[in-house]
Amino acid sequence: MRRCVPTEFARFDELLDEHHWLGRGLFGATVRQVAEIDGEWVALIGWGSPAFQVGARDRFIGWSREQQRRRLRHVVNNQRFCVLPEARVANLASAVLSRSLRRLSSDYADVWGYPALLAETFTDPSRHDGGCYRAANFQLLGATAGWGRSNGEYVYHGNSKLVWVKTLRRGATSVLTTSFDHPALLVTHGGARLISDLDTLDFDSDTGLLCRLREGLPDHRSARGIRHPIECIVAVATASVLAGASSFDAIGQFATQLPQDVLAKLGCKWNERRGAFVPPSPDTIGRCLGGLDADRLDRIVGSWLADHGITAAKAKKRTTTKADDDIEVADPLVGVAVDGKWLRGSACTEPDQVKLFSGMLHHTGVVIGQTQIGDDGSTCELNSMRPLLKRLGDLHGKVITADALHCQRDHAAAIVDDHHGHYLLGIKREPTRPPRGTRGNP
């Protein structure tokens, strides 16, 4: 089973015209696949854009109209399936269909830049019963109502068809119905991929980001003309950076693409004239962030992300069964890697470069605390360990990992005694020297 290359499209369509009762007619975001035996084509499968509205499918997914509009492209329709006459053998159709489904999501990612999460198809019960789809683990959802779309309008034709669907990854319906875009959707903002699954983060509860910002981050702006609260602007900016945005324009683009339920979760104001929640503009975000206390903001956001990191790690607690008894495994330690890196894009020459010493969660890659190296005129990371530990706070349930530079007694003592954490530090072995009068290996 493989994907057709553009030079084979004409042959593919000619064979459909000859052997399929509907002929050619693939439309939308199409992917053509061909099955071969000993180099000979034996079956053709054509995928394309899904039906705009199918009641049985939409109820199966459980998405809202807003979610359907944004994520319908991740559903693909089996528009053509043709087994060529010279290759009609038992079970070939279901075997070909199964192999097609295995590579369908990656084929869509290669051709169109996004994966397919759900496959759908319609069968006419007067022609066949869909046995090959049933054998390939498609699920029969019901029948259509007999309406079709023509020239942008719905027309009743009375030809009801059976609706079949097949999920292409585990939890596909959950991914399609999340508030924020799930990382599996490979949605990008400002040219970068999603860093974190935003739907798992707490923004609007009593211990969420909005509450922490409201209590701990003062508003530096003049009271006159304020339309968006400070916590809303920072929450939108934080969510966009976690989604991969790296500029004010990218943050603004991210905000304009958010649905209404997400804007409400991020604390955006309701606009009576528009009848909708309105996000802050890129200019407003830029002016607001430029005047904030960066250290205080870093502490608030870092502690919020750290709390989520501990919760996520404890959620992975496993139980094993031995002799019919459940044995509970102890809570795993949350790994925090500390290291110094030059800030990308800060400058190219020495005195103007910015180097940050950061703590990053192992399992998510999210930075939960950082401090600038060189505030005291030094460029050594050793002097930044204690300030970073102070910013990270209590390290109970965490293990600090660092390279051999930080294998220092005072660092280890500070981690254990002052912050109640654990450490795993690298050690470099001193190279052995050859005996006198002998030559070492070349």
What pLDDT, on the 0 to 100 scale, is given for residue 199? 78
**Which two structure tokens, joined as six digits, stand for 303?**
């502690």
**Residue 30 confidence (pLDDT):** 95
Contact 256, 279 (CB under 8 A): yes
Please state, in angstroms and as integers, the Cα–Cα distance from residue 31 to each residue in 36, 71, 77, 93, 169, following that order: 17, 18, 10, 18, 19
- Give the residue with greater pLDDT, 34 vs 313: 34
The answer on pLDDT for 330 being more than 60 is no
Model confidence over 47-58: pLDDT tens digits?
999 998 899 999
Q: How confident is the model at residue 188 (pLDDT cuts 50, 70, 90)?
A: very low
| 25/317 Cα distance (integer angstroms) | 51
pLDDT the model gives residue 77: 96
* pLDDT, greater one: 150 or 208: 208
Q: How confident is the prediction for the chain on average, in pLDDT?
A: 83
Rounded Cα distance, 175 and 220, in Å: 38
Instruction: Please state which CATH number belongs to domain 2-176.
Output: 3.40.630.30
Q: Using one digit for the tens of pLDDT, what is the confidence trace for 385-396?
A: 888 888 888 888
Give the pair of three-digit tokens for residue 256: 């304009």
The pLDDT of residue 322 is above 80: no
**d(C-alpha 305, C-alpha 312), whole Å:** 10
How far is the C-alpha of 40 from the C-alpha of 419, rounded, in Å?
68
Note the pLDDT of residue 123: 92
The Cα–Cα gap between 49 and 104 comes to 13
* Whether the predicted pLDDT of 72 surpasses 70: yes
Dihedral angle, C-alpha 208, 212, 213, 214, nearest 10 ° = 100
> How confident is residue 162, by pLDDT bands cut at 50, 70 and 90?
very high
Give how far Cα 18 sits from Cα of 45, 48, 67, 78, 433, Å: 15, 20, 39, 19, 78
DSSP single-letter state for residue 412: H
CB 16 within 8 A of CB 43: no
Over residues 256-309, the pLDDT tens digits come to 888 888 888 898 989 888 888 998 888 888 888 888 888 888 888 888 887 776
Contact 57, 41 (CB under 8 A): no
Is 408:386 a contact under the CB 8 Å cutoff? no
Taking only the tens place, the pLDDT of each residue in 343-361 is 766 555 555 677 788 888 8
H or E segment at 167? strand 162-167
Map out the domains of the chain as residue ranges.
2-176, 183-292, 316-425
> Which pLDDT does position 198 carry in this prediction?
78
pLDDT band, very low/low/confident/very high, at 441 (cuts 50, 70, 90): very low
Tell me the residue length of the chain: 442
User: When comparing pLDDT for 185 and 164, which is higher?
Assistant: 164
Looking at 58-67, 348-357, 414-423, which range is the least confident one?
A: 348-357
Q: Tell me which of 223 and 66 has the higher pLDDT.
A: 66
Radius of gyration of the chain (CA): 29
Quick count: other Cβ atoms within 10 Å of Cβ 267? 24
Give the three-state DSSP class for 367: strand
Residue 439 or 366, more confident = 366
Torsion sign across C-alpha atoms 158, 164, 167, 172: positive
pLDDT of residue 26: 92
Q: 319-322 and 276-278: which strand pairing?
A: unpaired
Helix 294-315 and helix 385-392, axial crossing angle in degrees, nearest 10 = 70
The first and second tokens of residue 177, run together, are 């119905």
pLDDT, mean of residues 306-325: 52
Greatest alpha-carbon span in the chain = 98
